[in-house]
Amino acid sequence: MKWTNELESDPNAKPWDVFESLFRHIKNHRTFYEVLHKTGKDSILRTSLREKIGMTGKLSSEEAYDKVFFADGISGWIEEWIERGMQETPVELSTALYHYFNEVLSNLGKIFTYG
């Protein structure tokens, strides 16, 4: 994807910058991504994200489940963002995602009990 080339060419980019960069790319190419979404072709983005994070058939089950949860979760955020008219800026969406990872996911152990 073009956005990864842009991000990877920035020597000052940090790992977390990938999300803001991705959201900015999608917003800058809004019409294209809206058409993908409206025609049910969101799987193109999902597949691309899976490939970018190294989703292959050679992974252990645990690695594969972790990667698919991550890639499809990001894809879901993007699909919902498009569906809601991309009201948030890329910075706002990236900040919300950062909060989600740090606050919500860190507390999952309190929500689920195994027994």
Q: What is the pLDDT of residues 76-106, one digit of tens each?
A: 999 999 999 999 999 999 999 988 888 877 7
Q: What is the pLDDT of residues 4-40, one digit of tens each?
A: 566 566 667 666 678 888 999 999 999 999 999 999 9
Q: How high is the mean pLDDT of the chain?
A: 85
The two structure tokens encoding residue 115? 């027994």
Question: Alpha-carbon distance 44 to 13, whole Å?
Answer: 25
In the numeric block, the tokens 């996911």 are attached to 105
Q: Please, what is the end-to-end C-alpha distance for the chain in angstroms?
A: 44
The two structure tokens encoding residue 62? 């645990």
User: What's this model's pTM, rounded to 2 decimal places?
Assistant: 0.79
